[in-house]
Amino acid sequence: MGSPTPNPIRFADVNSGNNGIASLSAPENGDSGAKVVGRVENGVADTDQAHEDSPYSGNTLVVEDRPSVGDEDLVSAAAPLPSVSKSNIEHRWSDITSYTTKKKVQSWFQLPNGNWELARIVKTAGSESVISLPDGKVLKVNSDSLIPANPDILDGVDDLMQLSYLNEPSVLFDLQYRYNRDMIYTKAGPVLVAINPFKKVPLYGNNYIEAYKNKSIESPHVYAIADTAIREMTQDEVNQSIIISGESGAGKTETAKIAMQYLAALGGGSGIEYEILKTNPILEAFGNAKTLRNDNSSRFGKLIEIHFSETGKISGAKIQTFLLEKVVLVTPFFIVLCHLSRVVQCAEGERSYHIFYQLCAGAPQKLNLKDVNEYKYLNQSNCYAISGVDDAEQFHIVKEALDIVHVSEEDQESVFAMLAAVLWLGNISFNMIDNENHVEAVADESLINVAQLIGCETVDLNLALSTRKMRVGHDNIIQKLTLSQAIDTRDALAKSIYACLFEWLVEQINKSLAVGKRRTGRSISILDIYGFESFGRNSFEQFCINYANERLQQHFNRHLFKLEQEEYIQDGIDWAKVDFDDNQDCLNLFEKKPLGLLSLLDEESTFPNGTDITFANKLKQHLNSNPCFRGEREKAFTVSHFAGEVTYDTTGFLEKNRDLLHLDSIQLLSLCLCHLPQIFASNMLNQSEKTVVGPLHKAGGADSQKLSVATNFKSQLFQLMQRLESTTPHFIRCIKPNNLQSPGSYEQGLVLQQLRCCGVLEVVRISRSGFPSRMSHQKFARRYGFLLLENVASQDPLSVSVAILHQFNILPEMYQVGYTKLFFRTGQIGILEDTRNHTLHGILRVQSCFRGHQAQRHFKELQRGIATLQSFVRGEKARQEFAVLLQRHRAAVVIQKWIKGRNVKKTFKKINDASIVIQSGK
């Protein structure tokens, strides 16, 4: 979770910022503005020693509820060194008073190295104060150089809005206080500030997910942001977005994964959430790399769009990709911006994409891959491993993820074969064949292996790498390539294969996530895009990255500064405007037509004889008057970005921007026996049909030219911003505490620079002094109208709203009535919501009792009816049984009578016969 950042701010060189931001420049000759008076011994002080293009199609107004902070004073202060005048301080922090110097309390004092120390004021005389530092030093300083410090009770508050004194050192101390205790999340009004701990912290897992789901924990967290997003999506039926920003190495990728885990836990059940989570290892393997400051730096950005059903369960997802040097439009879910130049070249101490090293460590034997140091694309940087990372194990994790997203075993083998082909392409060398520097590929194992892996003949591969077919009139001629042209062709083929492979993989994931899934229109998007970058040498890639970050910063400014304040003005709210750093001038430098950086780059790219030097000279000629631009010596120029100045080297700008499409390479791939190269060639040909046909470039000998990379990048970036504008945004600002990826290390200057860039103090000031909660009259009346004691159904919504406010005795200073909406101070909506929920709960209790009583009455009536029915049934049954029994009894009596009669007859007959016999004997 760490990566390169701009150079740390040098406090001695920082001039006054725009919009009233106070200077932090140090006094001349190294004078700190403080005189050492003495030291403190045993607590006793010895005082005797001492723009016209816009991606936005309309205004999107955001409604956000923010936590209550009570009735604290809205006091704030700047962070000047002693050389800063009092007027400059008051210009930015208008609520600074001499309270600190009048009372013998603690204050912040800035040391010559730029760090802040908490000083105790020993005594004050006139405009000077004697302060005691923690190390025992006693200094005599100008009272105006002291910044008020908050009382100890506010140490480590979880929302910066709760600070009584809102100033830079207080914010720095609060964040550091929490960071040292592994509380890496802090709220800055509506923005979540996340500081990269560079270690595992016990803040995640199922227990925490359940706690935030049930609202049993209220502390700031990514889970809380994700929970708010999913609840607002369900309640308001508006798509949400979680925008994660920050410098490289600030922890954006991990933060995005944490947000996804929470959404998957809450929206799980269908099984699709598991597949979505398993896309992370695939995208990281193919899009992440080790840089000088980050072992797992995302060299791509992604917009994760997750769709939900009406019941709040994840119902599906789709993917869209567009690459820096190869722009490909698929379907929306992820937006991936990936550096392809890293495929063929790597700086010292860095690595290419993880997948290459994972492949060499864990690939099947049949690929016959060598060690990573045998491949020229990988051994340029002399860096092959990452401490604590097992590439072979990671390879198996990637294979498992590919299985889960239903990439077949056959396709996986093809993917690995394409990766191996890219590695072997870098090892292909060339021999001179004539005196004109023409070359042909050496027929060694590299050439043979590439041909076998992609399924073509070595002769065809050799011709594609060393010659170029050109059409002159009605004839086709074959032009032999020079060594530099052949190397460019080889590297272009490698980058194209990798780009197409990445695109194909995303498409397969897309198919897996979309099968049988139904979109409902409700979605939450998570934007994780690479951060602002500034290296020793900044090329075309950093140019595009920093332009994208300028656009994202404008989106941040637009929603948290511009739209917020514009809405107050448009709705007739009494509001004192808050100044902030607007980067619109820098965006105009990039986008203005016809004399903007992008327009001039495209113009120079269309000239056959255009070079990097002519491009640099054209920039200096037309843009030197722009305050955000400065021409440098030779081929360099400097841009003043929102995050600092960056100097770009124009070497390679035109070639990378042209992104010429060579039909020879496409034809080679189309003739391959393997199915993936054929798919790649088909996709390239489909795109070439949509390109703008341009002049042939002598250096490249291309057959056609696509729209420039910069133009495509700008177009796709505008589409991204338009999509974000259609959502309700939630912002997470990731902060990198140090450049060494060291746990526990907190560099004040580096953190302060990032806080300034993202305007944290201004966001908190607007949130504290503004009206963060707002609701239309109709919605307010509909939501809280039932709470009124009197019947006002016939009244208009505004009258109902005012009646509600009066009934609940909401103080006039806690709200303002606009033309269309009601605007509330922090916490007021929460009070009404609590009353509403309490009332609804009471209503539900009454209803439950009444319904229970009704149910009991109904049950008893039903019970009596059943008993009556049962008695009739049982009586009838008893009578029927008795009749049968009586019939049987009578039958038995008759039978008995006949049997008895017969027996009697038989007896009588015997007696009679005996009597006759006796009588006859006489």
Instruction: Give the burial string for 467-494 (b: 16+ CB within 10 Å, else e).
Output: bbbeeeeeeeeeebbbeebbbbbbbbbb
Instruction: Give the burial string for 544-568 (b: 16+ CB within 10 Å, else e).
Output: bbbbbbbbbbbbbbbbbbbbbbebb
Total length of the chain: 922
Residue 855 has pLDDT above 50, yes or no: yes
511-536 confidence digits (pLDDT tens): 888 754 556 668 898 888 777 778 78
72-94 confidence digits (pLDDT tens): 332 333 333 333 333 333 333 33
Whether residue 188 contacts residue 764, with contact meaning beta carbons closer than 8 Å, is answered with yes
Chain Cα centroid distance, residue 787: 40
Packing angle, helices 709-725 and 597-605, rounded to 10: 150
| Tokens at 529, concatenated | 């895009």
Q: Is residue 126 part of a domain?
A: yes
Q: Is residue 114 part of a domain?
A: yes
The residue among 249 and 26 whose pLDDT is bigger is 249
Please state whether beta strands 128-132 and 137-142 pair in parallel, antiparallel, or not at all (unpaired): antiparallel
Q: Is residue 461 part of a domain?
A: no
**The pLDDT value given to residue 407:** 93
Residue 150 has pLDDT above 70, yes or no: yes
CA-closest candidate to residue 642, choices 574, 705, 561, 744: 561
Q: Is 229 left (phi over 0), alpha (psi -120 to 50) or beta?
A: alpha
d(CA 87, CA 825): 30
Whether residue 537 contacts residue 649, with contact meaning beta carbons closer than 8 Å, is answered with yes
Same domain, 762 and 776: no
Containing structural domain, residue 788: 771-826
540: helix, coil or strand? helix
Residue 806 has pLDDT above 90, yes or no: no
Whether residue 683 contacts residue 328, with contact meaning beta carbons closer than 8 Å, is answered with yes
- By mean pLDDT, which of 10-24, 485-499, 568-582, 763-777 is the weakest? 10-24
Task: Give me the chain's average pLDDT, please.
Answer: 80
Residue 126 known to be catalytic: no
Chain Cα centroid distance, residue 428: 40
Whether residue 27 contacts residue 37, with contact meaning beta carbons closer than 8 Å, is answered with no
Residue 757 has pLDDT above 60, yes or no: yes
**Mean pLDDT score, 691-702:** 39
Alpha carbon of 901 to those of 306, 650, 886, 906, 910: distances in Å? 98, 135, 22, 8, 14
What strand order describes the sheet that includes 773-776?
Answer: 773-776, 821-824, 815-817
Q: Residue 319: pLDDT band by 50, 70, 90 thresholds?
A: low
Residue 9 has pLDDT above 90, yes or no: no
Same domain, 619 and 552: yes
| Tokens at 469, concatenated | 């077919």
Q: Is residue 590 part of a domain?
A: yes
d(CA 66, CA 191): 10
Residue 63 has pLDDT above 90, yes or no: no
253, 352, 557, 683: the active-site residue: 253
d(CA 194, CA 224): 13
**Mean pLDDT score, 646-655:** 90
**The pLDDT value given to residue 95:** 41
Run of H or E residues at 627: none
**The pLDDT value given to residue 793:** 59
Taking every pair of C-alpha atoms in the chain, what is the biggest distance, in angstroms? 177
**Mean pLDDT score, 650-675:** 82
Residue 533 known to be catalytic: yes
Residue 127 known to be catalytic: no
| Tokens at 493, concatenated | 């083929």
**The pLDDT value given to residue 30:** 41
899-919 confidence digits (pLDDT tens): 999 999 999 999 998 888 888
CA-closest candidate to residue 177, choices 737, 705, 599, 805: 737
294, 352, 738, 767: the active-site residue: 294
Same domain, 86 and 146: yes
pTM above 0.85, yes or no: no
| Greatest mean pLDDT among 654-663, 682-691, 883-892 | 883-892
- Please classify residue 633 by burial: count the beta carbons closer than 10 Å to its beta carbon, then call 0-12 exposed, 13-18 middle and 19+ buried: exposed
Same domain, 792 and 648: no
- By mean pLDDT, which of 232-241, 268-277, 299-308, 699-708 is the weakest? 699-708
Whether residue 377 contacts residue 423, with contact meaning beta carbons closer than 8 Å, is answered with yes
Helix, strand, coil shares of the chain, percent, nearest 5, are 50, 15, 35
Domain count, the chain: 3
**Mean pLDDT score, 729-738:** 94
Q: Is residue 702 part of a domain?
A: no
Those residues whose C-beta lies under 8 Å from the C-beta of residue 106, and which sit 6 or more positions away, are 118, 119, 120, 121, 149
Look up residue 466 and give its amino acid: S
CA-closest candidate to residue 99, choices 71, 73, 81, 79: 73
Same domain, 14 and 126: yes
**Mean pLDDT score, 391-396:** 94
Instruction: Give the burial string for 691-716 (b: 16+ CB within 10 Å, else e).
Output: eeebeebebbbbbebbebbbbbbbeb
The residue among 269 and 277 whose pLDDT is bigger is 277
| Tokens at 201, concatenated | 């912290």
232, 350, 533, 567: the active-site residue: 533
40: helix, coil or strand? strand
Those residues whose C-beta lies under 8 Å from the C-beta of residue 677, and which sit 6 or more positions away, are 418, 454, 455, 456, 497, 669, 670
Q: Which residue has the tokens 């990731």?
A: 734
Q: Residue 368: pLDDT band by 50, 70, 90 thresholds?
A: confident
Of 800, 826, 852, at which residue does a domain stop?
826
Q: Residue 632: pLDDT band by 50, 70, 90 thresholds?
A: very high
531-586 confidence digits (pLDDT tens): 777 878 888 888 988 898 889 888 888 887 777 777 788 888 877 777 777 889 99
531, 610, 759, 770: the active-site residue: 531
| Tokens at 226, concatenated | 């994700």
Q: Which residue has the tokens 């709760």?
A: 162
Of 658, 677, 705, at which residue does a domain stop?
658
Q: Which residue has the tokens 């057959």?
A: 703
Strand partners, 817: 822
d(CA 257, CA 280): 8
Alpha carbon of 28 to those of 12, 33, 323, 390: distances in Å? 9, 9, 48, 52
Those residues whose C-beta lies under 8 Å from the C-beta of residue 291, and which sit 6 or more positions away, are 3, 4, 248, 297, 350
Same domain, 145 and 1: yes
Residue 28 known to be catalytic: no
Whether residue 677 contacts residue 425, with contact meaning beta carbons closer than 8 Å, is answered with no
Q: Is residue 506 part of a domain?
A: no
> What is the CB neighbour count within 10 angstroms for residue 74?
15
Residue 424 has pLDDT above 70, yes or no: yes
Residues forming the annotated binding site for ATP? 246-253
**The pLDDT value given to residue 577:** 73
Same domain, 143 and 116: yes
Residue 867 has pLDDT above 60, yes or no: yes
CA-closest candidate to residue 524, choices 242, 235, 223, 228: 242
**Mean pLDDT score, 733-751:** 92
Q: Residue 53: pLDDT band by 50, 70, 90 thresholds?
A: low
Residue 248 known to be catalytic: yes
770-785 confidence digits (pLDDT tens): 777 778 888 888 888 8
Same domain, 760 and 817: no
Same domain, 85 and 150: yes
Residue 467 known to be catalytic: no
Residues forming the annotated binding site? 246-253
| Tokens at 375, concatenated | 């491949």
d(CA 131, CA 125): 12
Q: What is the CATH number of the domain that holds 557?
A: 1.20.58.530
Residues of the chain with pLDDT > 70: what percent?
A: 81
Residues of the chain with pLDDT > 90: what percent?
A: 37
Residue 197 has pLDDT above 90, yes or no: yes
Same domain, 784 and 755: no
Same domain, 88 and 158: yes
Residue 842 has pLDDT above 70, yes or no: yes
d(CA 496, CA 122): 69
124, 248, 711, 728: the active-site residue: 248
Q: What is the CATH number of the domain that holds 805?
A: 3.30.70.1590
249, 287, 455, 759: the active-site residue: 249
Of 826, 846, 865, at which residue does a domain stop?
826
**The pLDDT value given to residue 408:** 93
**The pLDDT value given to residue 35:** 54
Q: Residue 804: pLDDT band by 50, 70, 90 thresholds?
A: confident
Q: Residue 42: pLDDT band by 50, 70, 90 thresholds?
A: very low
Q: Is residue 227 part of a domain?
A: no
150, 298, 650, 767: the active-site residue: 298
Please state whether beta strands 335-338 and 320-321 pair in parallel, antiparallel, or not at all (unpaired): parallel
Same domain, 760 and 819: no
Q: Is residue 725 part of a domain?
A: no
